[in-house]
Amino acid sequence: MKTHTTIQSLQSTIDSWRSQGQRIAFVPTMGGLHDGHLSLVDFAKQKADKIVVSVFVNPTQFGKNEDFDQYPNKLEQDIALLEQHQIDGLYSPSVEQIYPQGLDSDIKVSEVGDILCGASRPGHFDGVVQVVHRLFEIVKPSIAIFGQKDYQQLLLITQMATQYFPEIELLSQPTIREQDGLAMSTRNQYLSIDERKIVPRLYQVLLQAKQDYLDNALVEVLTNRAKNTLSEDFKVDYFEALDANTLKQITDNTSKIAILCSVYLGSTRLIDNIIFNKG
Ligand code: AMP
C-alpha cells in the first residue's frame, strides 16, 4: 500500500491501474479508523480490483464551535490498519491539495440538508458534499462506499453523485456496532468511562421505537416516548421516524422507515439510526 499526499502521485497510480482495465473502489474517511470503516474497506474488496481509501479531516464540514481542532489524528495507526486490510492506495492530502482555490463552494445541498443534523449543524452538509465532490473529481472511482451510520449524509451524497457523477456506483453498508449496541464512531473516544457505560441506552431506545412502530404506535407517540426515555440520560437534539427514501413524513407510499436520532452526552454529540421495511 502506498500513501499518496499529492494529487499527481495518486492520479498517476490510479491511471496506470485504469489503463490495465482495473476497477477502482473508493472509501472516503476522516481517519481515526475503526471496524465500521474497515467493514466498508472489506466490502470494497469484494466489489473492485483496487481499493483507495482517503483520510482527510475536512474543515468545511465543521462549524465554528465544533471539534475540528481536537478531531482524533491517528494516521500511523490508520496506516497500520489499512495495511492489514490490504488496500492498494491511501490518499492523505493537505487542505491546500483539496481546496487550492480556497474553502468556498458553489455546490449546495437540497432542503434535506436543512433538517435533522443540518438544523443543528448549519452548513455541515454543504461541506460534506463539497469534499466528496472534490474527492470524486480527483479519484474518479468506479464505485464509492459509504456507511448507513450517517444516513442523512448518505442520501445527500447520493443526490450530489446522481447529478454530477452518474458514472460512479454508490454502495452503502450497515452500521457496525460494539457488542453492547453502541454504533462505532471515531467520536466515541471522547466519552468518559462513566459516559461509555450509559451510551448503549441510545440503541436500546431506537430498538424500542422500531418495535413500537411495528406494533402500530403513532409516530408522535413513539417519538415522544423515546425522547422522554432518552432525556433521563442525554440531551436530545432530535428523534424522528421518517420515510427513509425522502426523509419526509411517512405516508401511505412509504416503503422503508428511518428512525434517526442525535443526542448529546456531556459535550459529545452522537448520532444513530435504524432503517427497516415498513412491513
Ligand atoms: P467518517 O470517518 O466518520 O467520515 O466516516 C467515513 C465513512 O465510514 C462514512 O461513510 C461513514 O458513514 C462510515 N462509518 C462511520 N462509522 C461507521 C459504522 N459504525 N459502521 C459503518 N460505517 C461507518
CATH number at residue 191: 3.30.1300.10
Pocket (CB within 6 angstroms of ligand 1): 29-30, 36-37, 39-40, 146-147, 149-150, 173, 175-176, 183-186
Q: How many Å apart are CA 27 and CA 8, to the nearest integer?
A: 19
- Domain-located, residue 181: no
Tell how far the Cα of 178 is from the centroid of ligand 1, in angstroms: 14
Return the pLDDT at 279.
Answer: 74
Measuring from atom 7 of ligand 1, which residue has the nearest CA? 29
Measuring from atom 11 of ligand 1, which residue has the nearest CA? 147
Q: Where does a domain end: 114, 149, 173?
A: 173
- Domain-located, residue 73: yes
**Same domain assignment for residues 200 and 267:** yes
Decide if 165 contacts 140 (C-beta within 8 A): no
- Domain-located, residue 278: no
Measuring from atom 5 of ligand 1, which residue has the nearest CA? 29
Mutate which of 61, 82, 129, 149 for ligand 1 pocket (most atoms within 8 A of beta carbon)? 149
pLDDT tens per residue, the chain (279 residues)? 999 999 999 999 999 999 999 999 999 999 999 999 999 999 999 999 999 999 999 999 999 999 999 999 999 999 999 999 999 999 999 999 999 999 999 888 999 999 999 999 999 999 999 999 999 999 999 999 999 999 999 999 999 999 999 999 999 999 999 999 999 999 999 999 999 999 999 999 999 999 999 999 999 999 999 999 999 999 999 999 999 999 999 999 999 999 999 999 999 999 999 999 987
Domain count, the chain: 2
- Domain-located, residue 178: no
Return the pLDDT at 135.
Answer: 98
**Same domain assignment for residues 89 and 15:** yes
Which of ligand 1's atoms lies nearest the C-alpha of 30? 2
Does the annotation mark 133 as catalytic?
no
Q: How many Å apart are CA 217 and CA 214, to the nearest integer?
A: 7
Tell how far the Cα of 221 is from the centroid of ligand 1, in angstroms: 30
Return the pLDDT at 196.
Answer: 98
Question: Among residues 37, 85, 124, 133, which one is catalytic?
Answer: 37
Model's pTM, two decimal places? 0.97
Q: How many Å apart are CA 17 and CA 49, to the nearest integer?
A: 9
- Domain-located, residue 155: yes
- Domain-located, residue 180: no
Q: Strand 235-243 vs strand 256-265: parallel, antiparallel, or unpaired?
A: antiparallel
Range of the domain at 79: 2-173
**Same domain assignment for residues 169 and 216:** no
